[in-house]
Amino acid sequence: MNIFYHQILIYRLIRIVKLKMDYTIDRIKGCIFGGAIGDAFGAPFEFSSRLRIKERFGGKVTDFVDAPSVFGDKGSFTDDTEMALCIVDAIIEDRDVVPETVVKHFIKWYEDGPTDIGLLTRQILHSLKMGVSWKKAARDVWLAEGGDNPNMNPRASNGSLMRCAPIGVFRYNDISQLVEDSIIISQTTHYDPRCCYSNVIHNYLISENIRRGNGPDNIELAPIDYTQKIHWIMDKIILNNSPRLTKCVDAIIKKINQFKSNQKTFEEISHDYYDKGGYVLDSLSISLISFCCTTSFDESVIEATNFGSDNDTTGAINGALAGSYYGYSNIPATWLQKLQNKHVLEEKTNKLIEIMSPKA
């Protein structure tokens, strides 16, 4: 009887562990594919204003549009996903986050002649290619533009936030290392603390999404309640490292709570960010508002990509966050069918999962 009881107990424990791993893998895959989906969704109307989107497509875009982008046919992702995959490749190579390896993959991608590349990223990668140390290249530019002088405003674009999700995936069970890696990999091209700590917030929330619960019925918090998690990371990790980021996040939390309490509509809390997005704090705000104030992956991405301006990048950032919450299994099948180069994403994601598994 005791032997039988222990066998049943072991069987149940194995099932629990397997169930948890199944959902973890689904969320990891959801994060990587979700970022690519959001990126590809917004690419055909990248840099289109909110008004232009309405004029061109007859209203809010709610599905992949037939119009090709400069990146290729419908469903093609952009430099946002390509750079994220550089980080994936570097992690697979070292089974670790090593900035020198990440930079090596960035430079190779740069030398291959990408279709599009952000201005600050291009400038820094050129310096890195010329042999400038990753510890100096972005830092020197940041200092030359004013550094942390409160009277100056050095560039703080979204080029590191758009690509950072693989770090949130790889370090989902090690928050201190997640924070360190998020900052260092941002600093390879985007040194400003607003960029670095926006990456920390984004990756921390991704890690929270991957860790939560053991099944679909054990969801700790709905997205609308994620202000609690945002408060925690601001109080425990961000602290006073970026006053401008703190001010921005305080405003985001206030807006989300106003929506939650029915004081304001989604449009009313969103209009401050219409036709913005290239600035890292705008991109972070759009992603968080779209994620916290919706209830599905597709609704979140649709909202994030229709703010106007840098629509593919806000889609990539939000898609990774929403994908890590809802999982790959809840990304619309019709959207996955329209995504180009799925085999590349599948291969790299599977390798990443393999090195993250306990047996690896």
How confident is the model at residue 221, as a pLDDT?
A: 83
* Helix 79-94 × helix 2-42 angle, to 10°: 140
Give the pLDDT confidence score for residue 7 in this predicted structure: 47
CATH of 2-356, one of 3.30.70.3420, 1.10.150.20, 3.40.50.300, 1.10.4080.10: 1.10.4080.10
- pLDDT at residue 17, rounded to an integer: 40
Cβ neighbours of residue 246 closer than 8 Å, sequence gap 6 or more: 234, 238, 240
Q: How many Å apart are CA 98 and CA 185, to the nearest integer?
A: 9
Say how many C-beta atoms besides its own lie within 10 A of residue 173's C-beta.
Answer: 12
Amino acid occupying residue 38:
G
Q: Cα–Cα–Cα angle for 188, 277, 82, nearest 5°?
A: 45
For residues 113-148, one letter each, b for 16 or more C-beta atoms within 10 angstroms of the residue's C-beta and e for the rest, the string is ebeebbebbebbbebbeeeeebeebbbebbeebeee
State residue 3's pLDDT score: 58
From first to last of its 360 residues, what are the pLDDT tens digits of the chain?
A: 455 544 444 444 333 344 456 899 999 999 999 999 999 999 999 999 999 999 999 999 999 998 666 777 889 999 999 999 999 999 999 999 999 999 999 999 999 999 889 999 999 999 999 999 999 999 999 999 999 888 898 999 999 999 999 999 999 999 999 999 999 999 999 999 999 999 999 999 999 999 986 444 445 689 999 999 999 999 999 988 999 999 999 999 999 999 999 999 999 999 999 999 799 999 999 999 999 999 999 999 999 999 999 999 999 999 999 999 999 999 999 999 999 999 999 999 999 999 998 643
Helix axes 280-292 and 311-326, enclosed angle (nearest 10): 40
State the DSSP H helix or E strand holding residue 83, giving kind and residue range, or none if neither.
Answer: helix 79-94
In angstroms, the CA 77 to CA 40 distance is 4
Q: Facing residues of 72 across strands?
A: 69
Neighbouring CB atoms inside 10 A of 54's CB total 15
Q: In the numeric block, which tokens belong to residue 45?
A: 């109307």
**CA–CA distances in Å: residue 46 to residues 65, 128, 179, 313, 349:** 12, 27, 30, 8, 26
Cβ–Cβ < 8 Å for 35, 165? yes
What stretch of H or E contains 114?
none
Q: State which amino acid sits at residue 163.
A: R
Give residue 66's pLDDT.
81
Q: Is the pTM of this model over 0.85?
A: yes
Domain edges within the chain: 2-356
